Chain A
């Protein structure tokens, strides 16, 4: 089966941070995304999440 793009992995991880995902999209995710893609996207999204928190803190303190 054709592998989905890395972009799709980022979208899936983004929704997972919120904890919700449309069922049809989820079904596509589990058939097309590989475990490795999700892990890579998850680590990058976590780093971006931390950076965004640091950014908010910077805005508040400056």
Chain B
């Protein structure tokens, strides 16, 4: 793949605005990408702080630090902040920075809407986090907002519902922008089946977002009218059905899981070929597998509800459909390993995170298959086994890819090489403490420890203490990531246009740091 540079003149009129003020009105995809990434970083630490309070409380049995009500609020808002505040905006930040650079577009298709998409996020975050300060405290219903708890809760539930609405609107606008950019603004010669993998995964993710965000909005609107306008959608006494909320919520919730992992697959599909110095093995099958996973995501929601009470036929259907997701996911893992096979590999920090992703995400995938088996799930549902499972998928999956991707593209974004030694230390500390935190939780769950409960039986103490020590190590290690990023922005070895020997793609044809305006003349893509 080669690209001729159509942007040599860019350097001469690269008037990047100075000062923070321009960020409020910016329509530049690089500015907005940076805003999303910083927002994600801040929310990652806010959500992480809540997780550490949870782990501190669980360091020993009994109630020490927070009362059970606050504990419920912390588990609820930790999840919402991490999902809607850290992981999703993180990937949207990557999309804003990388998609125009990767497809050779000058900016996102709807630049002003892009600004609005981002600036909806801080008010939503303030509503979510600020709800701790209102009478009664934050929503304590769990991030799934199940009625009747979410109907009975105080005004913080309304704040949470409004936050979810706002973030949903932001996601839908972001998705429309991404789809339009990808379908209409690719460099001449870049056919769909020659697009970079990250672009493909985001195209499919954006369709998923547009399909399911309105479903979530509908569900929480029904909650709102049940709470304030006398409707009985979810009130059995009034002829409604609380189970219906679960079905609607998880029809959104399961595709949401793939919204948080498909862009991760895309990032990993760039890092591994670069540091294995081989083209991605099975590009077309990667695209097919991503599309298949997206389609399957719509017919598996019932696996979150095996213990709720469904006919045996329903349980079986959702069990079979869920287990089949292992096929396309297995294709992806196979392709990443085949890409590394006999490659000329080096292990810079992005590659460490990518290899860590493949290893640990696969553990999360396997524990997902365990949960998919209905009779097994009936015993492990609502236990720490599930908590361990989804943290292997979301932390060592989504977050690892965000960190690996950040190290991978930081030279392009900042113009400086990051501190490789500190990056590697960050990876190893993260990986050791991550496993120390979450691996014991599998055993806790299998032994019967329920999730979302601040107290536990004394026999669970040792594993909980190991998990809490790991969590604090994991949290503190992330400060190193913040330090490495700031250090990289402030200076360092000058990065060349293509800092990685094996890197492919249009983004590496522009100088580092990427000029404020790139590809004003579309490059030709051979």
Q: Give the B-binding residues of A (Cβ under 8 A).
A: 15-21, 26, 30, 35, 42, 46, 50, 53-54, 56-58, 60-61
Contacts and interface: CB of A to CB of B under 8 A. Distances in A.
Which secondary structure dominates where chain A touches chain B?
helix
Nearest to B285: A19
10 contacts: A17-B288, A17-B292, A17-B327, A17-B328, A19-B292, A20-B331, A21-B284, A26-B284, A42-B291, A53-B320
Contact of A16 (B288, B317, B330): B288
Contacts of B66: none
Nearest to B332: A19
Contacts of A58: 313
Nearest to B314: A57
B312 interface: yes
A9 to B, nearest CB: 13
A53 B295 contact: no
Given A19-B331, A42-B295, A61 B312 contact: yes
A7 B345 CA distance: 42
Interface centre among A19, A42, A60 (most CB of B within 10 A): A19
Contacts of A16: 285, 288-289, 291-292
**Interface range for B:** 20 to 34
A57 B292 contact: no
Nearest to A15: B288
A20 B334 CA distance: 11
Interface of B: 191-193, 282, 284-285, 288-289, 291-292, 295, 299, 312-313, 316-317, 320-321, 327-328, 330-332
A35 B285 contact: no
Given A19-B288, A19-B289, A21-B285, A53 B313 contact: no
Nearest to B335: A19
Nearest to B293: A19
A21 B288 CA distance: 10
B320 A57 contact: yes
Contacts of A20: 282, 285, 331
B167 to A, nearest CB: 28
Contacts of B327: 17-19
B232 to A, nearest CB: 31
